[in-house]
Amino acid sequence: MEWQPDEQGLQQVLHLLKDSQSPNTATQRAVQQKLEQLNQFPDFNNYLIFVLTRLKTEDEPTRSLSGLILKNNVKVHYQNFPPAVAHFIKQECLNNIGDPSPLIRATIGILITTISTKGELQTWPELLPQLCNMLNSEDYNICEGSFGALQKICEDSSELLDSDALNRPLNIMIPKFLQFFKHCSPKIRSHAIACVNQFIIGRAQALMDNIDTFIESLFALAADEDSEVRKNVCRALVMLLEVRVDRLIPHMRSIVEYMLQRSQDPDENVALEACEFWLTLAEQPILTFLFCHKSLTKSVFASVDKHAQSQTLHLKPIKNMVLVIEINSNKISMLNKRQLKLISRFLIYIYFLKSNKPAKVICWLTSLAMVYLVGPSLFPNLTSYKALLNTNQETHHRFAFATLEEEACTELVPYLSFILDTLVFAFSKYQHKNLLILYDAIGTLADSVGHHLNQPEYIQKLMPPLIQKWNELKDEDKDLFPLLECLSSVATALQSGFLPYCEPVYQRCVTLVQKNLAQAMMYNQHPDQYEAPDKDFMIVALDLLSGLAEGLGAHVEQLVTRSNVMTLIFQCMQDTMPEVRQSSFALLGDLTKACFLHVKPCIAEFLPVLGLNLNPEFISVCNNATWAIGEIAIQMGTEMQPFVALVLNNLVEIINRPNTPKTLLENTGKCIQQAYCIKSH
């Protein structure tokens, strides 16, 4: 028999859902406690799916909230769901994917995706066939709901969908999606393009087999009246430029003209997506050569002129002017130059022809050009500056402002409010590639101005968007790398100003290290069953913990007390990868300075490992180990005496070694001096 709710239990759940929407903190706390109690009962999840899919008389926010609570339960407890409960939830999702409410359809799609990421794509064989079949429904709601779910699955499981584990369903799905590029509904067209786009960078074979059809279909939608469709077309062309430029070269003149038009699209999100094209274009050596042909360059410049002179400029970054800067050796010349005093926002395209300068020098020259163009009085109005750097020796693109930050340092302090307004605005507008550059700019700013950033006004501007991005990214998302590096610099600069944000950041870093170590252990024991971990996650997490320890100082003690970080450091200190050991020694040194009472009980275990790493063949590892020993010696004083013999001979050998780097010499010298002082007592 099909499961049916108890009426009293159903009313209790509905009452709880209503209470959970209350702004009262005490009520919210009581709801959370009640939810934890109810999660002890497996069929509680049946009530949640029942409210989401069956109680159509209830208001949509309550129904959607029920689904989102269920989604969270799936993420945490799905492995404990009885088979009957899991089956009921799956059936309800598929039976109601065409709910009349867009909010409910989207919630069900999120729930389906969450279940599928728990390993259920392999054990839910009917999911993909049923969703694909429902695309043929004449009921718009069923078609759109199914496409919404498929898009989320494609985003979260793109590699799995192109694997033998599922018998390569993309062989059926890709041609199916391409059919819907011509659908009468713009929402469906947009879903179809977005689904296919997930498989461009990975070069899925099913897409490569249909690449010409895909490109032709994109061209057919180039002038679509729907902005979301145009945005997805631009996104597809940018990614194709990275992976299948050979298929685009015959159409490049038309594509360049199209992207110039879309860079001024009435919809700013479309225009920003189109701007990604120029960044990617600058990274393509074959296209750099192509642009050296005068006829094409002249055509592009003519198009730039035409659009710059038109009255239909809507995109803020190129509202007033497009500059083309040619840097040839030391010479900077400007083409298409219009009045510099009218500029408030601009985009600069930079082509480097026959330049022998290193990329960093070119970036520095660009920074000087920016100062010359904008001038001190207009500096606060700078809101967008994108440099596309391309040399014949190396490709290097960077937010040129980051280079200016390194040069100006504390001279930027009077402008911090304006700078932060600009950077925070960019969070809402920048796409993937430029977000990475934005993280670099923020991290460099924090390094450059240091504690001057620790002002309530600046913290309130900067931290919310950073924490929002932090919460959006999954633990396995490699976009965490630049964000963790950025936060490390920010935490160090903000010092005690980072306290309101420190606990979740600290806990997640500890979790990342712990998960990585566990995966490494499983891989070492069963390499045929488990994948090797990506240790970069562990390295950047350790570095951010160092930033927290350095920035928070003694305040980090309470976080260390509630975690097993000292045990994790000891494991990381013995890792086979030098970069992991390097970061673990840095963290050990910072914790020694910040809260030595937690380090002291571990000294007998830690110092022999530190002594083994006093090997100048690995300069950075050796340097951090030496520095950590020195910090421990300062804290230990004469109590360090029993351990001096473990490290002294190696330290003397390092200082007598020819060509030892200056920083390592300094740290080694301080360490030896401390050791002899201790020994003499």
What would the pLDDT profile of 48-94 be if each residue is shown by its tens digit?
Answer: 999 999 999 999 989 999 998 999 889 888 888 999 999 999 999 99
Residue with tokens 């040619």: 326
What is the distance between the alpha carbons of residues 644 and 680, in angstroms, rounded to a whole number?
A: 11
What is the distance between the alpha carbons of residues 254 and 548, in angstroms, rounded to a whole number?
A: 50
Mean pLDDT of 310-336: 33
Q: What is the pLDDT of residue 284?
A: 67
DSSP at 326: E
DSSP at 451: G
DSSP at 474: -
Is the pTM higher than 0.85? The answer reads no
Per-domain residue ranges of the chain: 473-600, 603-680
Vertex 186: Cα angle to 311 and 90 (nearest 5)? 145
In tens, the pLDDT along 559-583 reads 999 899 999 999 999 999 999 999 9
What is the distance between the alpha carbons of residues 78 and 76, in angstroms, rounded to a whole number?
A: 6
- Mean pLDDT score across all residues of the chain: 80
What is the distance between the alpha carbons of residues 621 and 625, in angstroms, rounded to a whole number?
A: 6
Residue type, 110: I
| pLDDT over 90 at 361, yes or no | no
Highest mean pLDDT range out of 15-19, 369-373, 528-532? 15-19
| pLDDT over 50 at 113, yes or no | yes
| pLDDT over 80 at 385, yes or no | no
Q: What is the pLDDT of residue 159?
A: 85
| pLDDT over 50 at 376, yes or no | no
Q: How confident is the model at residue 160 (pLDDT cuts 50, 70, 90)?
A: confident
Residue type, 423: L
Q: What is the pLDDT of residue 287?
A: 55
In tens, the pLDDT along 256-277 reads 889 888 888 888 888 888 877 8
**464 contact partners, CB below 8 Å, separation of at least 6:** none
What is the distance between the alpha carbons of residues 238 and 277, in angstroms, rounded to a whole number?
A: 5
Mean pLDDT of 598-603: 93
| pLDDT over 50 at 515, yes or no | yes
| pLDDT over 70 at 157, yes or no | yes
Residue with tokens 């160092």: 546
Measure CA of the first residue to CA of the last residue in the chain; give whole Å: 83
Structural contact between residues 260 and 254, judged by C-beta atoms closer than 8 angstroms? no
Q: Which helix (H) or strand (E) holds 322?
A: strand 322-328
| Cβ burial, residue 298 (10 Å; 0-12/13-18/19+) | exposed
Q: What is the pLDDT of residue 401?
A: 60
Q: What is the pLDDT of residue 360?
A: 41
The CATH number that domain 473-600 falls under is: 1.25.10.10
| Cβ burial, residue 546 (10 Å; 0-12/13-18/19+) | buried
In tens, the pLDDT along 297-311 reads 444 444 444 444 433
DSSP string, 20-65: TT---HHHHHHHHHHHHHHTTSTTHHHHHHHHHHT-TTS-HHHHHH
> What's the length of the chain?
681
| pLDDT over 60 at 553, yes or no | yes
Q: How confident is the model at residue 407 (pLDDT cuts 50, 70, 90)?
A: low
3-state secondary structure of 199: coil
Q: How confident is the model at residue 393 (pLDDT cuts 50, 70, 90)?
A: very low
* Structure tokens given for 409: 């340092």
| pLDDT over 90 at 26, yes or no | no
Q: What is the pLDDT of residue 211?
A: 95
What is the distance between the alpha carbons of residues 404 and 417, in angstroms, rounded to a whole number?
A: 17
Q: How confident is the model at residue 337 (pLDDT cuts 50, 70, 90)?
A: very low
Q: What is the pLDDT of residue 663?
A: 85
| pLDDT over 90 at 252, yes or no | no
Q: What is the pLDDT of residue 190?
A: 96
Q: What is the pLDDT of residue 408?
A: 66
